[in-house]
Amino acid sequence: MSNVIVHSLLTEFDVNLFKSGKHYRMYDKFGSHLIKVDGKAGTYFAVWAPSANQVSVIGDFNFWTDGEHKLNVRWDGSGIWEGFIPGLKQGDKYKYKIHSNNHGIKTEKADPFALSCEHPPKTASIIWDLNYKWADKSWMGYRKDKNALDKPYSVYEVHLASWKRKIEENRSLTYEELSEEFVAYVKEMEFTHVEFMPIMEYPYDPSWGYQLTGYFAPTSRFGEPEGLMLLIDKLHQNDIGVILDWVPSHFPEDAHGLGFFDGSNLYEHPDRKRGYHPDWKSLIFNYGRNEVKSFLISNALFWLDKFHADGLRVDAVASMLYLDYSRDEGEWDPNKYGGNENLEAVDFIKELNRAVYENYPDTQTIAEESTNFTGVSKPIDLGGLGFGMKWMMGWMHDTLEYFQKEGVYRKHHQNDITFSMTYAFSENFMLPLSHDEVVYGKKSIKGRMTGDEWQQYANLRLLYGYMFTHPGAKLLFMGSEFGQSEEWKFQGSLDWHLLQYDFHSGIKQYITDLNLLYKNTPALYEKQFSNEGFEWIDHSDAENSVLSYIRKGHDVENDLVVICNMTTVIRENYKIGLPRNGSLKEILNSDAKKYQGSGVGNLKAIKIKKSTWHNKSHSADVKLPPLGVVVLKWT
């Protein structure tokens, strides 16, 4: 006889909503929940396992004995098993032992909805009740008061395990330690947002978190779930938004994970051509199965709801959109129209974004999508996928390739550096210099710069100045903000000792000032996704390798002039055309001595003359520093 009391939290559960893929708050009902039944404290369990003929809860409390605590299958054909076990408390470890109808297969699985998990390599779920009192009311109000896209997004991308380590103890910082040290650093650097590489539970450190087994559980590597809440709360209290990396594209085959959950292909697509990812040796969700859609969308809303996340960066969207992604001929089957688009994944993505923006309109979904798929960040009712933003991978590739070329050759590649502006407003773009660019032998961002030591750092400052004045949101991976020399090593720590050297401390100060300029200058963010916010002065001066342009906001008085000199030649009295009279004041110069530059610049106000140039009514002569960017403002 089972020691489980028949009880349900699903008394008002709409099974049709679940079966139609429209149940977006499954975390309120599924998993383990601490409750009382007839005055007895204990834990209620609910798990979806339609191919099972028996499901038991096993754990420390019954010495992991199968069959002692059997759950009851619901009468409604949903395939949900549930029940209440008295006496089970927070911190108790458990799994589900599932007997399948398929060939007598038995599986032992972690709870897909567990809120806490054992520290890997251990794999049990932990009964947990989230209990945290938030103190970020002011930030959450600021979110609602502002147009989500009409503000600066300067994002600091972080792998928490390797940001900084306690060397003497050979460990990463805890959530609590990060809430002090990390938050203070990000605030000092003036970033507007952080993006955490996947913070959900994952079994394998070298996956960096991109192979999830605990979709609803913050990783236990840094402490308990409330620790992550504290970290996010502290960031919010310091006016820093939080974007979470989210992985709905694939999941690992680990025995305790979602794969072959109840002896059937429950979460993954049963056809290996659509259900297995050859590059990542992982399983692909079955986006055509409604209950799986409910699971994934519930998970997205969970992090926005319970953890106050300000956005989700959705990983590997291209791999979801295309049936032939990373597959050779014969390894994929076309859709019903003969094309290569995964129509079920497209529908899922639209439904995901619709649900996010209907429930949390002041948040963002950001697509890591590397193809020319049309309308990734366009509204669904206009034929788009509905994301808020998309990573601008083309800009990243072209720009890094350009900056690896010596200055003398750059005049032959002017079109490479200006090409991004031909499509800059086709999507709401975020410019990413992400973790993917500083691993696998690619070198650090600083290591990709050409020239001797001085030129490398000058090029790095020039690159960042160009990036921060280019239309679009910004993202920098940790370490790039102070010119990390070595490529990223996930098992180590950033090279913080480098900050004792002038070039590195200069880069750090420069990024701080760029963030302040971006945050405090409406011309750089108010129309960053609109062609109204950008105007070329001259993109065709290939001979001198100079770019000049105007950035605009809602108020013409705040317009900025930006000039990038891509060579080591100092250019005296470089003439630019301008649309109106007045004078210009230099407000940022990447060659300033405080950044360890040579100090060439425009110390006095620059007089604008009534003299036609570059098809504009006025002009001015500007001094351009070597490998430098100057930002000028009308006064």
- pLDDT at position 32 over 80: yes
Q: Walk across the sheet containing 40-48 and list its strands.
A: 31-37, 40-48, 80-86, 72-73
The DSSP symbol for 525 reads: T
For residue 628, give the 3-state DSSP assignment: strand
For residue 139, give the 3-state DSSP assignment: helix
Average confidence (pLDDT) over 512-519:
98
For residue 96, give the 3-state DSSP assignment: strand
Rounded to whole angstroms, how far apart are CA atoms 443 and 261?
40
Q: What local confidence, expressed as pLDDT, does residue 17 receive?
A: 87
CA 334: distance to chain centroid?
Answer: 30
Q: What local confidence, expressed as pLDDT, does residue 441 receive?
A: 86
Rounded to whole angstroms, how far apart are CA atoms 126 and 92?
6
- pLDDT at position 1 over 50: no
Annotation says 437 is catalytic: no
Rounded to whole angstroms, how far apart are CA atoms 225 and 218?
6
- pLDDT at position 77 over 50: yes
Rounded to whole angstroms, how far apart are CA atoms 552 and 559?
5
**Domains located in the chain, CATH noted:** 15-126 (2.60.40.10), 531-634 (2.60.40.1180)
Average confidence (pLDDT) over 195-210:
96
Do 216 and 115 form a contact (C-beta atoms < 8 A)? yes
Q: What local confidence, expressed as pLDDT, does residue 8 receive?
A: 80
The percent of residues in the chain predicted with pLDDT above 70, rounded, is 99
Rounded to whole angstroms, how far apart are CA atoms 368 and 362?
20
Do 320 and 48 form a contact (C-beta atoms < 8 A)? no
Query: Per residue in 597-630, pLDDT tens?
Result: 999 999 999 999 999 999 999 999 999 999 999 9
Average confidence (pLDDT) over 267-274:
96
Query: In this structure, what token pair is assigned to residue 243?
Result: 């974007």
| DSSP strands (E only) in 441-599 | 473-477, 534-541, 546-551, 560-565, 571-578, 583-589
Annotation says 341 is catalytic: no
Query: Per residue in 123-134, pLDDT tens?
Result: 999 999 999 999
Rounded to whole angstroms, how far apart are CA atoms 218 and 303?
10
Query: In this structure, what token pair is assigned to residue 387?
Result: 């994301």
Closest CA to 204 of 158, 242, 169, 256: 256
pLDDT band at 14 (very low <50, low <70, confident <90, very high): confident
Cis check for the bond before 121: say yes or no (omega within 30 of 0): yes
Q: What local confidence, expressed as pLDDT, does residue 115 receive?
A: 98
For residue 583, give the 3-state DSSP assignment: strand
Average pLDDT of the chain, as a whole number: 96
Q: Which helix (H) or strand (E) holds 178?
A: helix 175-189
Query: Per residue in 460-505, pLDDT tens?
Result: 999 999 999 999 999 999 999 999 999 999 999 999 999 999 999 9
Q: Which of 111, 262, 344, 368 is catalytic?
A: 368
Closest CA to 198 of 274, 251, 269: 251
Q: What local confidence, expressed as pLDDT, does residue 74 receive?
A: 92
What b/e readout covers 275-296, taking b as 16+ CB neighbours within 10 angstroms? bbbeebebbbbbbbbbbbbbbb
Rounded to whole angstroms, how far apart are CA atoms 223 and 614?
59
- pLDDT at position 397 over 70: yes
- HEC string of 99-114 equals EECCCCCEEEECCCCC
Other residues' Cβ atoms within 10 Å of the Cβ of residue 607: 11
Do 9 and 35 form a contact (C-beta atoms < 8 A)? yes
Query: Per residue in 549-576, pLDDT tens?
Result: 999 999 999 999 999 999 999 999 999 9
Q: Which of 118, 226, 310, 315 is catalytic?
A: 315
Closest CA to 511 of 412, 581, 599, 594: 594
Report strand pairing: 154-158 vs 193-196.
parallel
Q: What local confidence, expressed as pLDDT, does residue 2 receive?
A: 66
- CA dihedral (473, 319, 302, 383) in degrees, to 10, reads 70
Name the burial class of residue 133, with classes exposed (0-12), middle (13-18) and buried (19+) by CB atoms within 10 angstroms of its CB: exposed
- pLDDT at position 147 over 70: no
Q: What local confidence, expressed as pLDDT, does residue 7 receive?
A: 80
Query: Per residue in 284-306, pLDDT tens?
Result: 999 999 999 999 999 999 999 99
Sign of CA dihedral 201, 207, 209, 211: negative
